[in-house]
Amino acid sequence: MSYEVLAIRYATRDTWTRDIYANPWVYDEPDRPARMDYFFWLLRGGGRIVLVDTGFTPEVGAARARTTLCPPPRALARLGVEPADVDTVVITHAHYDHTGNAGIFPRAQIVISDRELAFWTGPYGGRQQFAHSAERADLGTLRRLDDAGRVTRMSGRHQVAPGIELIEVGGHTPGQLIALVDGEAGPVLLASDAVHYYDELDLDRPFAVFADLAGMYAGFDTVRDLAAASGAAVVAGHDPAVLTRFTPWDTADPGFAVRVG
């Protein structure tokens, strides 16, 4: 089974490399301006619609000085997808920019790492250095969906559907997931925040925010190994280069979405 795979850019912000890499003084380089884009991913094929992450709402983005370009529900409408059409929502990790809107899909089963969900409801998820990266309301939504039996907790590797496999890598968060997808245009590895920027892989530089630094390096190795073994194109989680490495979904608006698989 293969899928049309889209990376949809819903928000952006201007930042600096000092805010991107962990302990940037290690590299002895000048600070440089950088852009961070925010994506979620849509898979459709065989009568199935799977979302990978759900972005944030404009209100949550504004409170964190992020510029929302197209709220995810509107982006989905533009792509011909209504909330009730979505069968499965994968939450790659529970940071605020991946969990907003998770409650608007009335039929969807949510898939998340068991370790991830346990972490955010456990003794450390509420401590400030971690809590800063999550939205309490979104965590409450995930908890409510879990209570309603609509959350599948996985660990290790998990097949969502034929041609869609999740791999738990940790590092950035305790249960960070990546997704290996049989794309119509070839296999793709949706790295989400296991790889925010391609430079992280190319220069072996961990991102600034992590739960486990060694785990983040191990995640890079897993991404490299999986990409080499499968021939998959790696799709970084926040890199503007995604928009130029892949084909625009709408050539009149190349910044909206690209077809990655």
Instruction: List residues near Zn ion by CB under 5 A.
Output: 97, 193
Nearer to Zn ion, 135 or 193 (CB): 193
Could you tell me the two tokens for 243? 């928009």
**Phi, psi at residue 3, to the nearest 5°?**
-130, 145
Q: How far is the CB of 172 from Zn ion (least distance, A)?
A: 8
Distance from C-alpha of 222 to C-alpha of 226, rounded to nearest angstrom: 6
Q: How far is the CB of 72 from Zn ion (least distance, A)?
A: 13
The Cα-based distances of 108 to 30, 102, 154, 184, 218 in angstroms read 46, 9, 16, 23, 31
Neighbours of 103 (CB within 10 A): 20
Nearer to Zn ion, 48 or 172 (CB): 172
Q: How far is the CB of 192 from Zn ion (least distance, A)?
A: 7
Question: At 109, which helix (H) or strand (E)?
Answer: strand 109-113
Nearer to Zn ion, 97 or 239 (CB): 97
Helices (H) and strands (E) in the chain, counts: 9, 14
Q: Residue type at 243?
A: L
Nearer to Zn ion, 45 or 189 (CB): 189
Q: How far is the CB of 98 from Zn ion (least distance, A)?
A: 6
Q: How far is the CB of 39 from Zn ion (least distance, A)?
A: 8
Nearer to Zn ion, 193 or 239 (CB): 193
Could you tell me the two tokens for 58? 């404009």
Question: Closest by alpha carbon to 209, among 98, 114, 110?
Answer: 98
